[in-house]
Amino acid sequence: MTTNKIYWEELGAWAEMATFAPEGKVEETHIMVHVEPRGELFEGQMNRIYEAEERIYGLDALSEAKVVFKRYFLSDSTNQQPLMRDEQDCAVSFIQQPPLDGSKIAVWIYLQKGTDVSNRNGMTVAEHNGYQHLWKMGLHDINGDSAQQTESLLVGYEQELKNFNATLAGNCIRTWFFVRDVDTQYAGMVKARRENFIEQGLTENTHYIASTGIGGLPADTRALVQLGTYAITGFEPAQQRYLYAPSHLNPTYEYGVTFERGTLMEYGDRCHVFISGTASINNKGEVMHIGNIVKQTERMWENVEKLLEEAGTTYDDVMQIIVYLRDTADYSTVKALFDKRFPDKPIVITLAPVCRPTWLIEMECIAVSSNSNDKYREF
């Protein structure tokens, strides 16, 4: 993996890039794009983000790459999303999780070179070597409470998967649940997800799905939950493995929630590791270091490190990091910590309350490492 940072001074924008590019094989790139605030209205910052994107796509190294997925982090989704482009060529997510660098917008971009990317049956499909990678973002409902909306979203998504001969239990690898007013609405989402999962055969005796459940505001003020998903078809069950790190973490069902701490997907030429939203917790399900943002950050890092180790990877293999903070006043402290430990990683730090009030910080990440296993097809 290689990392690179590009700064366009006149544009007041920069891109943090990580690329996994094995010779003659599919290349993957994760990018975080940021802009300086410069006292501008949203439209000005938005246009600078779009200009930075165009410059990125024009780079020689990415000239043949295709955008698979983008997530825009906005400071006011209700007023800002209607001003943004309606993009159909890739999966796009908009969520109000303000970047804490003072800007109104940032974007995470995921590109692939060597795959076919299309929009099919409402899904973004990246297809290569017998695998279909299915991305669906921005799912939301406007009727009922958070439990009813969550149930509606999951049932609807399960129906969409049938178009690809896929199921939630058999093919979904990663989910994101963005919850409006997470302190009061999260419990309803958790309840509905648990009940739906039981119907789908997802239990403590089978498996769950790697996930982040976090504070985030959809653009439609009636929507209490927004769902993002990633699924794969064409793989063998043995290619998927779940991560537990029992020395540091306990199974989530022990405290009433239903997600995997992390998931490993093994291909013939590489491994993908999806680390769920992870906070400062021990293997009894207890919050560690209440009120101490530095200690919580360090314990969070340690937990993620143990999950990565279980997958046979390290932080060196991590290609992107999203950090969620409850308190804006902690930003400078947390940024300094991350800048020191991960100076070259694509990172965005956002305002997004974690699901327990005493958790001050949470992070998620994706790692990619080289592999050689002729039992499985290459990515």
pLDDT tens-digit profile, the chain (379 residues): 999 999 999 999 999 999 999 999 999 999 999 999 999 999 999 999 999 999 999 999 999 999 999 999 999 999 999 999 999 999 999 999 999 999 999 999 999 999 999 999 889 999 999 999 999 999 999 999 999 999 999 999 999 999 999 999 999 999 999 999 999 999 999 999 999 999 999 999 999 999 999 999 999 999 999 999 999 999 999 999 999 999 999 999 999 999 999 999 999 999 999 999 999 999 999 999 999 999 999 999 999 999 999 999 999 999 999 999 999 999 999 999 999 999 999 999 999 999 999 999 999 999 999 999 999 999 9
Q: Write a three-state SS string for 332-349.
A: HHHHHHHHHHCCCCCEEE
**Identity of the residue numbered 60:** D
Q: What is the dihedral of CA 156, 160, 161, 163, to 10 degrees?
A: 150
Distance between CA atoms of residues 309 and 273, nearest Å: 11
Task: Work out the angle between the directed axes of helices 293-310 and 331-341 (0-180°, nearest 10).
Answer: 40
- Listed in sequence order, the DSSP H helices in the chain are 42-57, 77-80, 146-162, 168-171, 182-199, 293-310, 331-341
For residue 379 the two structure tokens come to 């990515």
pLDDT of residue 178: 98
pLDDT value for 193: 98
Amino acid sitting at position 39: G
Structural domains of the chain sorted by starting position, each given as residue range(s) with its CATH number in brackets:
1-114 (3.30.1330), 117-234 (3.30.1330.40), 257-379 (3.30.1330.40)
Tokens for 299, please give them.
């314990």
Which are the contacts of 56, defined by CB distance < 8 A and separation ≥ 6? 6, 15, 17, 31, 33, 62, 109
The tokens describing 372, both together, are 């050689």
